[in-house]
Amino acid sequence: MNAPTIATRAAWLEARKALFEKERAMTHQLEALHAERRRLPWVRIDKRYTFQGPEGTLDLDDLFGRQSQLAIYHFMLTPGSHHVCPGCSFLMDHVDAARRHFEHADLAFAAVSRASIERIEEVRQRMGWTFPWVSSGESDFNYDFGVSFTEADRAAGRASYNYGLTSISSSPDMFGVSIFAKDDDGNIFHTYSTYHRGVELLAGALNWLDLAPKGRNEGDGTMSWVRLHDEYED
């Protein structure tokens, strides 16, 4: 962190008001962006996707529960791997408290990974999460929504992530969020997906840090201090 400028209260207030005007402008820009996001066209889902939950097989429709909207977090948990993504876990630590509220605004939530449901349950219980988390196994779901890549596509340079901004060569799975909606006739539509830094808007802890002088305190790289919440030394 750079050395701070020390000022009088009057000088601080003048600088704060100047920043406040920029914050207000940014708020209006974000509101306009949110509205534009809501106006995106929808794509009807005609393919049947199945998932394995703790109690058996589920369809995409089942993940909606009683809601007409569904947010899915694509959690990087690869079959056969012992690695648990710290970034994904960091985001998921925000979910259980938040969904107590947004489920009452007609939004359901589920996490989806390709790992087996047994492995998913092992991690979920370790972390203490209660949100729905299901396995897509070797189905097309993760591949169709741009977060999993075959070995052949990675070797051939065809594994494109984040709307073509990133070429994936090593990791078979990445992360992101996809949003779905269901109409009165039960038809399901894909309305939105975001990847990589697009998921930061879900990380309330980062928003708190952005208010503080040290910011995100990432001296050794992006989110370098983030651990699974049971791995912090204190």
Residue 52 placed within a domain: yes
Residue 97 lies in a domain: yes
Higher pLDDT, 8 or 224: 8
Q: Is the pLDDT at 222 greater than 80, yes or no?
A: no
Tokens describing residue 224? 């370098």
Q: Is residue 122 part of a domain?
A: yes
Q: Percentage of the chain surpassing pLDDT 90?
A: 93
The residue length of the chain stands at 234
CA 103 to centroid of chain Cα atoms: 17
| 18: in domain | no
Question: What is the span of the domain harbouring residue 82?
Answer: 43-204
pLDDT tens digits, 11-61: 999 999 999 999 999 999 999 999 999 999 999 999 999 999 999 999 999
pTM of the model: 0.94
What tokens were used for 156?
């051939």
Q: What is the pLDDT of residue 223?
A: 81
- Give mean pLDDT, residues 155-168: 94
148-174: b or e for each residue (b if 16 or more CB lie within 10 Å)? bbeeeebeeeebebbeeeeebeeebbb
Q: How confident is the model at residue 152 (pLDDT cuts 50, 70, 90)?
A: very high
Q: Does pLDDT of 87 surpass 90? A: yes
* pLDDT band at residue 234 under the 50/70/90 scheme: confident
- For residues 147 and 195, the answer to whether their CB atoms sit within 8 Å is yes
Average pLDDT for the chain: 95
User: Which pLDDT value is given to residue 14?
Assistant: 98
| 58 found inside a domain | yes
**pLDDT band at residue 220, thresholds of 50, 70 and 90?**
confident
Give the count of domains, the chain. 1
Write down the pLDDT at residue 160.
Answer: 94
Q: What is the mean pLDDT of residues 154-165?
A: 94
Report the pLDDT averaged over residues 141-153.
Answer: 96
* Sequence-distant (≥ 6) Cβ neighbours of residue 103 within 8 angstroms: 67, 109
The CATH number assigned to the domain holding 169 equals 3.40.30.10
- Over residues 140-146, the mean pLDDT reads 97
* 230 found inside a domain: no
pLDDT band at 9 (very low <50, low <70, confident <90, very high): very high
> Is 188 domain-assigned?
yes
